[in-house]
C-alpha cells in the first residue's frame, strides 16, 4: 500500500494559465456541488420541518432516507 510520500502533486507541473482555464471550465460544477452541499446541511440540521418532510418523501419514493452519521 502506498503512503502519502508516494503521492504526486500534479498541480506543481501545471502552468498558471492552465489552472485558470481549468477553474473557469469547472466553475459551474463547483457551484452546483456547493449548492447541493448547503441544501443537504440545511435538511440534516432542520429537525423540525425539513428533515421529517425529507424522510416522508424518501419513504413515499420507496427509498431509505439515507442519513449520514456525523460527530457533533
Task: Give the pLDDT confidence score for residue 61 in this predicted structure.
Answer: 78
Q: Is residue 34 part of a domain?
A: yes
Q: Would residue 6 count as lying in a domain?
A: no
- Which cell is 24 given? 473557469
Count up the domains in the chain and report the number: 1
Greater pLDDT, 14 or 48: 14
The pLDDT of residue 60 is 81
Q: Is residue 13 part of a domain?
A: no
Q: Is residue 45 part of a domain?
A: yes
User: What percentage of the chain reaches a pLDDT higher than 70?
Assistant: 81
Average pLDDT over residues 4-20: 84
> Is residue 67 pLDDT above 70, yes or no?
no
How far is it, in rounded angstroms, from Cα 58 to Cα 56? 5
Domain containing residue 43: 26-62
- Looking at the domain assignment, is residue 31 inside a domain? yes
Greatest Cα-to-Cα distance within the chain, rounded to the nearest angstrom: 50
* pLDDT for 6 beyond 80: no
Amino acid at each position: 500500500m502506498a503512503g502519502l510520500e508516494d503521492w504526486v502533486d500534479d498541480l506543481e507541473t501545471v502552468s498558471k494559465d492552465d489552472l485558470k482555464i481549468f477553474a473557469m471550465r469547472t466553475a459551474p460544477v463547483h457551484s452546483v456541488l456547493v449548492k447541493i452541499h448547503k441544501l443537504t446541511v440545511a435538511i440534516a440540521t432542520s429537525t423540525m420541518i425539513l428533515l421529517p418532510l425529507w424522510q416522508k418523501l424518501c419513504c413515499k419514493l420507496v427509498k431509505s432516507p439515507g442519513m449520514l452519521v456525523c460527530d457533533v
